[in-house]
Chains A and B, each alone.
Chain A
Amino acid sequence: MTSAVTAHELTKSYPGHVTALDGLTLTVRAGEVFGLLGPNGAGKSTTVKILTTLARPDSGSATVAGHDVLRHPARVRRAIGVVAQRSGLDPMASGRDNLTLQGRLFGVRGHALTSRVDELLDRFDLAGAAGRNVRGWSGGMQRRLDVALALVHRPEVLFLDEPTTGLDPEVRTAMWSEIARLAADESMAILLTTHYLDEADRLAARLAIVDGGRIVAEGTPAQLKGELQGDAVHLELERPADEPQARQAIGTVARLREVSFDGRLLSARADDGAAAVPAALAALETAGVGVATVTVARPSLDDVYLRHAGRRFAA
């Protein structure tokens, strides 16, 4: 098996002519962490619902762990672990009971089950609270239990649908290291959806940007950022009135391209931003233009998103 997940031309619309997916195609390779990045309503959750057999597409096909999601949903379910956007825990059951039942539904039983449950409770630092009803647990603990539940039967493919949405920054960081640890386990492929650019950048080996129900860009984070060719250089002028002189002076600097002005802010691109700055400053000084601040930034996924979806990323 080379692909953990394949989706081909998936379409799905909801009553009222709401198009959720509009021909989405993607491939997740075995053992990799694949990020699906996009704003709310882009179609990420619908994709996960189809791949996890919860929903049926209007058209298109998909396989998970080698099984067709439409023809053999039962086989798919045995091979996957799912952490949904909304927690699916039984609030009135203890952590241990939640895990035990989940294991039983996957056919894990006897000693194998108890030792797996203990192992997961320890691993996710939940052993102390294991006997208490989940209802009283903190959001972070509940989220960790969600992940533990998805792992109880050692799935081949793990789906994490916005696993850190709604978590405190600290808890979020902790969850990130947890996911990174899971990713290191190379026998399992992970499909992660997120609307946090930094999350996708940090966790995903490859990612796809979804917008309007289709993939608009795909590649490793470095590749996607590399397509933008070069660093962003931002120069803030002291006086907005200097714009005409600044425009003329900066035109003489060969290393800068795609120059644009926005009030006092001059933005440009350069293959090596740091090396272009001295030349730009010298040219501006000769023209008598004062510069207040200089910033050089590596391209971010935000820039990638801007380029492919045609607008700033607003999560």
Chain B
Amino acid sequence: MTTLVSHTWWMTNRRLKVLVKQPAFVVILLIQPAIWLFLFGNLFRRVVELPGFGTTSYLDYLIPGVVVMTAVSSNMWAGMGMLEEIERGTMNRLLTTPVARGAIMNAAVLEQALSTTVQVLAIILLGQIAGADYPGGLLGLAVMTVAAVLLGTIFSAFSNTVGMLVRQRETIIGINTMLLLPLTFLSSAFMAESLMPSWMSTIASFNPVNWALDAARAAMNETPDWGMVLVRGSWLLGAAVLMLVLSVGTFRSYQKSV
């Protein structure tokens, strides 16, 4: 166990050192959510005039939506990093060392979690500048950040699993293109759930993206619904752990095909 923790630490450290050497990538990481905030904020500005949003500012409603969409869309590419490790030969080199297998996957997920956190903080700041209100205060914002990180972990671990199993860029691109928009729009990211057709809101209740939104919105309310935060939060945590365990399991199949 201590080996897993210390190896996770060193392997994460290895990835972060590479990340800070690529400032351009970090900038892109921050620009992307800003564009979404701007586009959706202007395009849908007037939908709050419909009943069901529970707020008069679409920007207030939109912030958690852009946060989860960002979390999903950046984490779902994590598998590309796995492919790169395999293609560069670093994966095989690492696998012949005593490194804890879990640490390789943990590090990949933690790097993503860190960049998700940075992205969420940027969105919160941008929203603040644009005049958004955060009635839930710092605690509400913290819950939203944690929910986004957990949601991101589900998708980065999933992407790592796909990367290790199929080892093809095209498959990852295909899956991501197919999933991102349905997952986002089958949730309350941009549209109040009460305004969805009932079959849609039924599907949405199984959608982890929606769990994250439920938890975030419940915590960011003036009168937070902690029960909701707890239930949705534990679903997210459960799914994230499950995906992570699955991703570590892929080393077995990798060993058969290498």
Given known A84-B92, A104-B10, contact A54–B98 (CB-CB < 8 A): no
1/0 per residue B78-107: CB within 8 Å of A?
000000000011111111111100000000
Q: Which residues of A contact B17 (CB under 8 A)?
A: 92-93, 97
- How many residues of B are counted as interface, with CB atoms below 8 angstroms from the partner's CB atoms? 24
Tell me the nearest residue of chain B to A46, going by C-beta. Answer: B258
Segment 18-51 of A: residues with Cβ below 8 Å from B = 49
If A89-B90, A90-B90, A101-B10 touch, whether A54 touches B96 (CB-CB below 8 Å) is yes
B98 interface neighbour in A15, A91, A97, A107, Cβ under 8 Å: A107
Residue B7 CB within 8 A of the other chain: yes
B91 nearest CB neighbor, chain A only: A88
Q: Closest chain B residue to A48 by CB distance?
A: B96
Question: B5-20 CB contact bits vs A (8 Å, 1 = yes)?
Answer: 0110010001001100
Distance to closest chain A CB from B253 (angstroms): 11
Q: How far is it, in angstroms, between the C-alpha of A52 and the C-alpha of B98 when the chains are bound?
A: 11
B96 touching A82, Cβ below 8 Å: yes
Q: A250 interface residue, CB < 8 Å from B?
A: no
| A215 is an interface residue with CB less than 8 A from chain B | no
In the bound assembly, the distance between CA atoms of A88 and B21 in angstroms comes to: 20
B98/A78 in contact, CB under 8 A: yes
A105 within 8 A of B: yes
Out of B21, B90, B98, name the residue touching A105 (CB < 8 Å).
B98
Interface assignment of A87: CB less than 8 Å from any CB of chain B: yes
> Nearest residue in A to B258 (C-beta to C-beta)?
A55
Chain A residues with Cβ below 8 Å from B94 are 88, 105
Do A92 and B96 touch across chains, with their CB atoms under 8 A apart?
Answer: no
25 CB contacts below 8 A, A to B, read A49-B258, A54-B92, A54-B95, A54-B96, A56-B256, A74-B98, A77-B96, A80-B96, A82-B93, A84-B96, A88-B89, A89-B89, A89-B90, A92-B18, A92-B21, A92-B22, A93-B17, A97-B14, A97-B17, A102-B97, A104-B10, A105-B10, A105-B98, A106-B97, A133-B21
A interface, CB within 8 angstroms of B? 14-15, 49, 52-56, 74, 77-78, 80, 82, 84, 86-93, 97, 101-102, 104-107, 133, 149
List 4 tightest A-B contacts by C-beta distance, closest first.
A88-B93, A86-B89, A88-B89, A92-B18
